Copies of this chain bind each other. A is one copy, B any other.
Amino acid sequence: MQRSLAFTGPCGGAPVPGVVLYGLGAIGLEVARRLVESTEWPIIAAVDADPAKVGRSLAELTGLDSAPPVAVARELPAEAPPGAVALHMAGSRLPTVEPQLVELIEAGYSVASSAEELCYPQLRHPEAAARLDALARQKGVAVAGVGVNPGFLMDLLPLVASTVCLDVERVEVERIVDAATRREPLQRKVGSGMTPEQFEALADREEIGHVGLMESCALLADGLGLAADRIEEELKPALAERQIRTDYFEVAPGQVAGIIQEVRAMEGETVRAKLHLEMYLGAPDPRDEVRIVGRPELRLVIPGGTPGDSATVAALVNAIPRVAAAPPGLHTPKDLPLTG
C-alpha cells in the first residue's frame, strides 16, 4: 500500500531584519561564517572590544569574500531595527556579561547568548536575572542563554525525554569527551600538563572547570519539579597514567590530563539528578548518555558525543528565529519556543 499527501509546509515566523554579532572570538567568527554562507539572516553589525579586530572587515576576518560590507566596531549601533536579534558571544559569567546584555536590550535587540550562566541565572544571580527580565519586558525584547552544555545536552534533552516518563526518581547524564580530539583552547581549558597542585589552586578560585554544569542541573531540577534543596559540585583533575602527546601538549604521568566534574541536585542525602562530565586527553568511549529512572525507565545515547564546537555554533544560529518568536522577557532554554 502506498499513498501520498500534499504538504504545503509552515507559514514561517516573522522575518528578522538583521543580526548583530557581539563578540568575535572563535565561536563568533564561526557563527559569522555560517550566517554569510546561509544568507538567511543578514549581518548588520559586528562588535568586539579587541583593538586588533576593530575596524577590520567581516570579509577579512572570516575569509569569505561574500561577507556583507560590515566592519567590526567598538560600539554597538545605538538603535536596533525593530525585530533585530543580537547573538552575544563574549563571556561566560553573568557579572561580566550583564552590562553588555543591558546595552543590547536597551538598544532594542532580542538576545541569544552563549554565556553559560545565563541558561539559569536564577541559581547564582537571582537579582541580576530579575533585573534583566524586567528590562527585557520593558523594552519588548526576549533574552535567552543557549548552547549545548548548558542549553541542550544535560538539561533540555533530559527534560524532553522525561515528558514520556512518570514517577521520576532520578536523572543521570554523562558526557565523556576525549579532549585529545578537540582544538587547542579546549585542551588548555581543561588543564592539560598542569601539576595537580596548580589545578587545585585554580579550582578553588573557580578559574578552571566547565562553567554551566550547576546551571544545567538547576534548570533540570526546576523543569522536573524535583524537590531538591541544593546543588552540589565536585571538580577534580584526571591525571595522566602514561606519557600523553597531542598536537599541542605533552603531558607526563601524574600531570593533569583534564577534568572530572560532577554536579548533583540533592534532596537531603538523596541524589535526584547527577550530571557527570569527563573531559580529558584520551578519555575512552566518548559519548553522551541520558538516563531517566522512572516509569518507564529511559536511556538515550549519543554515540561519540555531541561535537561541542559545531553544535554550539548551530545552537546560536538556530536561536535567531527562536528568540525573535519568543515573548518579551528572560527565558531559559526550556521556555524558549522550539522553532521560530
| Interfacial residues, chain A to chain B (CB-CB below 8 A) | 1-7, 9-10, 12, 34, 38, 123-124, 148, 152, 156-157, 159-167, 200, 203-204, 209, 214, 218, 221-223, 225-236, 265, 294-296, 298-304, 306-307, 310-315, 317-318, 322, 334-335, 337-339
User: Which residues of B sit under 8 angstroms from A1, Cβ to Cβ?
Assistant: 200, 203-204, 209, 233-236
Give Cα distance in the complex from A295 to B38, angstroms.
12
Q: A160-B160, A164-B148 are in contact. Are A230 and B4 (CB under 8 A)?
A: yes
In the complex where A1-B234, A1-B235, A314-B295 touch, is A9 in contact with B221 (Cβ < 8 A)? yes
24 interchain pairs, CB-CB under 8 A: A1-B209, A1-B236, A2-B234, A2-B235, A3-B233, A4-B230, A5-B123, A7-B123, A7-B228, A10-B223, A12-B225, A34-B166, A38-B167, A148-B164, A162-B318, A163-B318, A166-B310, A222-B339, A223-B338, A223-B339, A296-B310, A298-B311, A300-B301, A335-B337
Residues of B within 8 A of A232 (CB): 2-4
Distance of A312 Cα from B165 Cα, bound (Å): 9
Question: If A2-B234, A3-B233, A4-B233 touch, does A311 touch B165 (CB 8 Å cutoff)?
Answer: yes
Give the contacting residue for A7; candidates B164, B265, B310, B337; CB below 8 A. Answer: B265
Pick from A123, A164, A228, A310 the residue with the most CB of B within 10 Å. A164
Q: Is the CB of A166 within 8 A of B318?
A: yes
* A233–B6 alpha-carbon span in the complex (Å): 12
Assembled-state Cα–Cα distance A298/B307 (Å): 8
Contact (A230, B7) CB under 8 Å given A1-B204, A296-B306: yes
Contact (Cβ within 8 A) B302 A302: no
Query: A302 to chain B: which residues have CB within 8 Å?
Result: 298-301
Assembled-state Cα–Cα distance A317/B228 (Å): 22
| Known interface pairs A232-B4, A338-B159; A9-B311 also in contact (CB < 8 Å) | no
Q: Which residue of B lies closest to A214 (CB)?
A: B5
* Distance in angstroms between the alpha carbons of A3 and B211 in the assembled complex: 13
How many Å lie between the Cα of A299 and that of B313 in the bound state? 18
Chain B residues lying within 8 Å of A307, measured Cβ to Cβ, are 296
CB pair A314–B165 under 8 Å, yes or no, is yes
CA distance A163 to B335 in the complex (A): 14
Instruction: Name the residue among A225, A312, A322 with the largest chain B CB count within 10 angstroms.
Output: A225
Q: How far is the CA of A2 from the CA of B214 in the complex (A)?
A: 12
Task: List, in ascending order, chain B residues with CB within 8 A of A294's CB.
Answer: 314
A84 to B160, CA, bound (A): 24
Is the Cβ of A157 less than 8 Å from the Cβ of B160?
A: yes
Docked-complex contact A164 and B338, CB < 8 angstroms: no
Contacts of A312 in B (CB 8 A): 164
A307 and chain B: residue at smallest CB distance: B296
Q: Which residue of B has the minimal Cβ distance to A309?
A: B296
Interface contact A315-B233, CB-CB below 8 Å? no
Chain B nearest CB from A203 CB (Å) reads: 4
